[in-house]
Amino acid sequence: MTPFGGVSEENVRKHPTDIKEDRGCCDLQERMNDDGALIIDGPTGKFCASGFRLAYGGAASSIGGGLGSAASQECARKAGAFVIQVSPDGAIKLFAGGAAPVQLKHDTSLLPPQIRKRYPVSLKPCSRRGGDDYFFGREAPLEQLLQWVGGDGPKGEGGGGLGPVGEKGTGRGGLPTEAPTLEPFILISGIGGVGKSQLAAEVLHRCEIPRTKIWINASSPERLQRELAELWEDFREAGIPVRSRKELRRWLEGNKKWLMVVDNLEDPELLWNFVPRSHKCLVMITTRDDSSSMFPPPKLLKLDILERPSAESLLQTLGRQKDEEGSARLAEALGCLPLALVMASSLVAEKKGLLSFSVLADRVAAE
């Protein structure tokens, strides 16, 4: 056996080919003739036990899921394959030629408790219908975070991420793609408005591994107390007997399938009032402070402003104007800060052609 299944290592084709392209489809059909079957890893979309790996950078499956579902549906459509996908939560999806894909019922008792989503909505809101992705310029940090969380890089929607990692042990943006290991604490730092909270929210939305997903705003002791009170209510509705910080700590210590985001944490000492220092899952923290004085020390990810091309794409897409010169000027005037770019593009879109990027850039420069 090899990491790719029951084939010899030297027979594995190292360079992926997109299965949407003719060459990728031919490779797929040739290998099916050789082996007679395909095994596709549901969370990652990797083809196993069939002697090859193919890339897939298309839209999500019509019935949702990560990259594995999307790749399975494409294989069935282009190569006439019969594909069975089994997800970590026990869900089974069938893809057969040109027939509509089917998702079978699964045992929900295998899932960890699910509570109310109190985190920001995903910027790929129509993911399960193959919609656009408005999360601009953050593919590399998103991929890295999903690996740290315990996935295998972004995998499209419904929970995974954005696409395949690169060759020679690097992912998008040159980030390392070492074997995923569970990190107990991750610290996302950066200036205000750089997109820390949205990045953390996207990880919750796109993480395909079944988890109880918890979001807590800890910007002040008062806000934290309100958030915890709401969390007790969410837990009560899910049948979890948690009514205090001590009981929350005990529940976190005794469970292995949860993922928590503590947003806007300015005082690290507040964390230990409700989170155990030793646990088996993950706490992701967003903060403006990157001094990393926490113990145990967290994994660090510092978020910077957007690169110019991504900032311009954001403005043109959300502002609904294909003005390259004007968007370049406005992006520079706003310092490529994501929050400012989103607000500016929303204003331009609301004016419906009565306000251009260039005019808004002049106003910003004059202030």
CB atoms within 10 A of CB 327: 28
Nearest CA to 75 out of 83, 64, 85, 67 is that of 83
| The pLDDT of residue 166 | 31
Q: What's the token pair of residue 73?
A: 């549906």
Residue 149 · residue 282 · CB < 8 Å: yes
3-state SS assignment for residue 355: coil
With a threshold of 0.85, does the pTM exceed it? no
- The pLDDT averaged over each successive group of 10 residues in the chain (367 residues) is 46 58 70 55 57 60 68 75 69 75 66 89 65 83 88 38 33 40 84 95 88 95 95 92 93 93 92 92 91 81 95 93 94 96 94 91 92
Could you tell me which residues come within 8 angstroms of residue 211 by beta carbon, excluding any fewer than 6 positions away? 112, 257, 258, 259, 281
Residue ranges of domains in the chain: 9-108, 112-302, 308-366
Quick check: bond before 296 cis, omega within 30?
yes
In this prediction, residue 171 carries a pLDDT of: 40
Residue 174 is predicted with a pLDDT of 36
Position 180 scores a pLDDT of: 46
State the fold for domain 112-302: Rossmann fold (3.40.50)
Tens of pLDDT, residue by residue over 35-67, are: 445 566 655 666 654 545 556 666 666 666 666
Alpha helices of 263-337 — where are they, by DSSP H?
A: 308-319, 324-333
Helix (H) or strand (E) holding 215: strand 212-217
| pLDDT at 155 (0 to 100) | 39
Q: What is the pLDDT of residue 43?
A: 57
pLDDT, residue 153, reads 39
Q: What is the CA radius of gyration of the chain?
A: 22
**pLDDT attached to residue 107:** 60
The pLDDT value recorded for residue 175 is 39
